[in-house]
Amino acid sequence: MANITRALHTSFTKSIGNGKTMLKILGTPFNRLASTDISATELPEQEVLNEKQLAAAALEAKRNKSRLKPRHYKMLHEQMHVDPQNPEFSYEETVKFRRKLIARHGLATGINLGIAWPTREELQEKIEYEKVAHPFTLQQMVEQKKKLREEEMKRIETRQKDIEFKMGKLASWMKELKDRQEKKEAIARAAQEKKDILIEEVRQHFGYVVSMKDPKFQEMLEQKEKEAKKAEKEMKKKVRSEKATSKAIAQAEAVSTGKEIKMD
């Protein structure tokens, strides 16, 4: 609290005026409802009213035709309408009311100013409340926030790195995916074509479209398969024999030309 300047300059302090007095209260501020010495010293003076003043008071009483109760009359004329020593109603004894009374009528109320501040118990309660409401110091909160920020930044950084890496790989991955899809499609297309050819053959054999589930079709299919197998076998045989003949021809040629033959 070192920076606080004591110069008064905000607009509301104007009402306080230039003659600012710093009045320090002596003694503890916790003696509530006790009156200061000020009223005690002023009482005898008030009691000794001379005749003139009495007359003035009587005249004032006659003039007062408001029919207001004294309490209300005083309230209307901004005078002390309460006697703090002899409270009429229970609310006049409350701390809140007495604080307001001091604010309104100043030290003339005769109430100990200590009432304005919290008592020891209230102060302890306030301190405890603040401890719960503000569990961390400013430095702790700043550090914590900093740490959270850093973590957040780190998280974003790793994510961005990951994204960059993946973006670099994107082209090759796209190609791979396309190839895979094309391959799959090609296989499917080949199968479909084979099936279509089969159906067409069966149709040409029977002269009408036969359902694939039909036993006729199945029979035909088996037959076809058998034929295909046979054709394959024959093909293999043919290839083998061709190979053998070509080999023999080559050997014969080699013998005739006298070249060395490499045996496989």
Interface contacts to other proteins, rule CB under 8 A:
1-13, 15-17, 19-26, 28-30, 98-108, 113, 116-118, 120, 123, 126-127, 130, 133-134, 136, 138, 141-142, 144-145, 149
Half-sphere exposure of residue 106: CA atoms within 13 angstroms, side-chain side: 6
Query: Closest distance between other proteins and the C-beta of residue 69, in Å?
Result: 24
Query: Closest distance between other proteins and the C-beta of residue 11, in Å?
Result: 5
Name the residue nearer to other proteins (CB basis): 147 or 178: 147
Q: Which of 98, 11, 77, 19 is nearest to 69 (CA)?
A: 77
Q: Which residue has the tokens 């890496």?
A: 165
Query: Closest distance between other proteins and the C-beta of residue 203, in Å?
Result: 57
Query: Closest distance between other proteins and the C-beta of residue 15, in Å?
Result: 6
Query: Closest distance between other proteins and the C-beta of residue 154, in Å?
Result: 18
Torsion of the alpha carbons at 108, 110, 116 and 118, rounded to the nearest 10: 170
Q: Which residue has the tokens 């790793």?
A: 158
Name the residue nearer to other proteins (CB basis): 18 or 204: 18
Name the residue nearer to other proteins (CB basis): 74 or 99: 99
Q: Which of 45, 46, 26 is nearest to 36 (CA)?
A: 26
| Beta carbons of 25 and 114 less than 8 angstroms apart | yes
Name the residue nearer to other proteins (CB basis): 27 or 168: 27
The DSSP result for 78-91, as a single string, is T-----TTS-SSGG
Name the residue nearer to other proteins (CB basis): 152 or 176: 152
